[in-house]
Structure 1
Amino acid sequence: MSLSSDPLLPGTHTVSIQGVLQRYHVTGSGPLCLVHPGGPGLGWEYLRMPELEQHLTLVYLEPIGTGGSGHLPRPQDYRIDTYAHFLHSVVEHLNVPSVFLLGHSHGGFVAQQYALIHPAALAGLILYDTSPCTGQEFWDQALATLDRLPQRHPDQPEAATIPRLFRHALAATDNASCTQALRAVLPAYFADYWAREADLAPLRASLRAWVDPMRAEQPPFDVRDRLGQIATPTLIISGAHDFICGPDWGRLLHEGIAHAQFLLLQNSGHLGHLEQPGAFTAAINASTFGAGRPAEAT
């Protein structure tokens, strides 16, 4: 049951899905695109994309377990298929023929799963700084790249502390410590956080995280052998300096999905919508409006 009479009216909405509240936010104008944030357990606000809102109607989800959405009984209940189920319930609630779907990072895992299960619901897919798999190789590569952060920024003492702090971040036991840990390691997610520290400090101070979704222990995500089944037109966006979902994983998605385009943001880390918003928006516009293929952005 929706608590709003018009599910696409600009503003905040809440729908009950099998007794669990799912909150989402509608803003912008143009074709409809659902937005699934990363994490898991991360507040949606970091993914706000004002430039894109000028071209698309964006429906930002607050994933279950975060913000004003409901919580599940146990951490292990936060599974990729569960997020995909809640996503589809929102799509059905909106009652539209098809939607675009943008998934960032962990949200990209959800988006891939959704595209495999509900291809008819999608007009297009945007896989943003994500990967077709996790597991040992994924984490080894991420941590090795993270360990090079101090060498990339030798003039920033904070950079030397982040690799150690990141390894301890998952030890958080409550929402406050989880949020504190996330804020501490945030600079690693940018190509050069300190070059824009004054502009990005408010984002860092406002980040929120919820510990239960982050504590979920699940088998590694891996759809590499199923990528060929994704027939939805797909745009893949990777940041050249993304330590956690680096461009190698984006290229793997590009190779595996038949109807895929690939954009490499040369001056971005994990948050290209903040670091190169013009190129990010232009690529999505070209994809969603059929205006051609995106090129590498410098």
Structure 2
Amino acid sequence: MTEPTLVLVPCFSGAPWDIEQLTPLAAHPMRTMRLPEAVADMETYADAAAAVVADLKEFVLIGDSFGAIIALALAVRRPRGLKGLVLSGGFAANPISSPVLKTAMRAMGRMRGTLYRQVALRAHAHNLASPHDHEGQIPWSKADSRNLFLDNTPAESFGARAIAALNADYTDRLEQVAVPTLILTPAHDVLIGEAAATVLREGIPDAREVILERTGHMFRFSHPHTYANAIAEFLRDEQISSRAPMNRGSLLHDI
């Protein structure tokens, strides 16, 4: 059985995934990318992802948070070779309905310099946090989230991606997804909310949702083994892969 390449699409920070942390998926071919900078249009991000998979005969798109929207934007195009889709912590259309919150997001996106580092990123880290972040294989904190953005995300890119997310809407195209789809949902997610997963689950044909208990929006970082194991089980159950998850030991015990 041919093993498709797992293509890991980054979150809002734009940073490539840390593949070494995904122990249960270690037997699979994987590749990731860095998001283009200062891009305010979701279709342009989808173009960048399409370029990453252009040489692959078979692949699975795995998008986390902002990356889930990018993966969805590419999946509705039905690219040749796409065998599966995993969306975690994402949405089909901007889930923020409050005009006040939308205005706040746009204001944060315009912040630069000290305001960006001390106000926008601290507020964003607060919105990303959950009470379960410290319980995972790699305990996570608000400071870790802020540092992720400080290290990887210029203010211009933060602002541009906020615009792209606020304007994205693939609700009317969900039925165009033609591959097995896993919607991976954290149990606690103030930033996105549970309704977003419901829209995806009901709109994508034959999609399945798995809720990971005692996890938050940053579960790819705080619970990488739990997260990856759910994906490995999905790949095997849908006969996208014949490879069983690796033993729970090894890499994560060495971190």
What TM-score, normalized to structure 1? 0.65
Unaligned regions of 5+ residues in structure 2, if any? 240-255
Deviation at 1:249, TM superposition (A): 0.8
Q: Matched residue of 1:138: which SS?
A: coil
Q: Does 1:191 align with 2:151?
A: no
How far apart, CA to CA, are the structure 2 residues paired with 1:224 and 1:54? 33
How far apart, CA to CA, are the structure 2 residues paired with 1:222 and 1:47? 29
Contact 1:142 1:245 in 2 (8 A): no
Contact 1:237 1:263 in 2 (8 A): yes
Deviation at 1:52, TM superposition (A): 4.2
Among 107, 115, 118, the alignment partner of 2:78 is: 118
Q: Call closer, same or farther: CA 1:42–1:88 in 2, change over 3 Å.
A: closer
Deviation at 1:273, TM superposition (A): 2.3
Deviations 1:165-192 (A, max 9, x none): x886334224x75354325542432321
How far apart, CA to CA, are the structure 2 residues paired with 1:34 and 1:191? 27
Deviation at 1:223, TM superposition (A): 1.4
In the alignment, residue 140 of structure 2 is paired with which amino acid? L
Contact 2:22 2:224 in 1 (8 A): no
Deviation at 1:142, TM superposition (A): 11
Deviation at 1:278, TM superposition (A): 3.9
Alignment of 1:140-289 (within 5 A): 140=98, 169-174=108-113, 177-180=115-118, 181-183=120-122, 185-192=124-131, 195=134, 199-200=139-140, 203-204=144-145, 206-208=147-149, 209-216=153-160, 217-218=163-164, 220-289=167-236
How far apart, CA to CA, are the structure 2 residues paired with 1:177 and 1:253? 35
How far apart, CA to CA, are the structure 2 residues paired with 1:131 and 1:241? 15
Deviation at 1:279, TM superposition (A): 3.3
In the alignment, residue 98 of structure 2 is paired with which amino acid? D
Q: Comparing both chains, which one has the higher relative contact order based on Cα–Cα distances under 8 Å and sequence gaps of 6 or more?
A: 2
Q: Matched residue of 2:215: which SS?
A: coil
Contact 2:180 2:238 in 1 (8 A): no
Q: Call closer, same or farther: CA 1:171–1:264 in 2, change over 3 Å.
A: same
How far apart, CA to CA, are the structure 2 residues paired with 1:84 and 1:110? 5
Q: Which moved more, 1:238-247 or 1:48-57?
A: 48-57
Q: Call closer, same or farther: CA 1:132–1:291 in 2, change over 3 Å.
A: closer
How far apart, CA to CA, are the structure 2 residues paired with 1:258 and 1:141? 31
Deviations 1:79-102 (A, max 9, x none): 11111111111111xx22121111
Contact 2:183 2:200 in 1 (8 A): yes
How far apart, CA to CA, are the structure 2 residues paired with 1:232 and 1:142? 37
Among 125, 138, 159, the alignment partner of 2:96 is: 138
Contact 2:78 2:176 in 1 (8 A): no
Runs of 4+ in 1 over 6 A off after TM superposition: none
Q: Matched residue of 1:111: which SS?
A: helix
User: How many corresponding residue pairs?
Assistant: 227
What TM-score, normalized to structure 2? 0.74
Percent same amino acid at aligned positions? 23
How far apart, CA to CA, are the structure 1 residues paired with 2:133 and 2:52? 38
Deviations 1:172-225 (A, max 9, x none): 224x75354325542432321675699435734641322223323456211112
RMSD across aligned positions (CA): 3.3
Deviations 1:201-254 (A, max 9, x none): 573464132222332345621111211111111100111211122222112101
Q: Matched residue of 1:109: which SS?
A: helix
